[in-house]
């Protein structure tokens, strides 16, 4: 979700 680790993915 927003602002967690998975958000560094494209």
- Residues that bind another protein in the complex, under the rule CB under 8 A: 1-3, 5-10
Minimum CB–partner distance for residue 6 and another protein (Å): 5
Cβ count near 5 (within 10 Å): 7
Give SS3 for 7: helix
CB of 1 to another protein, least distance (A): 4
How deeply is 9 buried, as exposed, middle or buried, from its count of CB atoms within 10 A (0-12, 13-18, 19+)?
Answer: exposed
């Amino acid at each position: 979700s927003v602002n967690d680790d998975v958000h560094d993915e494209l």
